[in-house]
Amino acid sequence: MGQRIAARSTPEQLRDGVLTLRVASAVWSQELSLLSTDIIARLAELGFSVERIRCRVGEVEPIPKPRPRKTAAQAQPNVPLPTALLEQLELIGDDELRNVVAAAAQSQLNLLHYRAMQRSLRSAPSPGIASEGRRDVQVPRFAESRSAPPGQNGPGQREAPPRTPERRQD
């Protein structure tokens, strides 16, 4: 049991002691019905009151595999340790302790460097942002596309004359 069954079935409902499972195929329905006494016993150990298992064939979504987390220290190259810190590390007599402290300091410096880079990327002006010696201002969308709403033309565009209904000449 375990991952193999979990990949091909999913619980739908537990009501009045009947556990309803959605299974991938009729073959899995048969397999779980044969294993039902073992499954019920294991569920009882976990505190669930299940008397019977009912299986319904249907689509079972696959269990997403967790992606390994990438830490800031792994994502960025090592920042060199300052010479003052290296001198202080040399004063630690225990090699194992010195290596642990050096690794912790390296990890912290990498993290600080990574965060500083992220901040600088967020504060850098993006395309479409104008700077005139003051705080950056976002250029309105219609200034570039020439599709300004009525009465709101962009720079260098003139207002179109108002449309008048055509008069019929009889």
Q: What are phi and psi of 77, to 5 degrees?
A: -70, 160
The C-alpha torsion from 34 through 22 and 55 to 9, rounded to 10°, is 10
pLDDT in the model for residue 52: 93
Which H helix or E strand runs over 82?
none
pLDDT in the model for residue 121: 80
Q: What one-character-per-residue DSSP string does 9-38 give?
A: EEEEEEETTEEEEEESSHHHHHHHHHTHHH
Which H helix or E strand runs over 48?
none
> Does residue 59 carry a pLDDT above 80?
yes
pTM over 0.85: no
Domain residue ranges in the chain:
3-57, 72-121
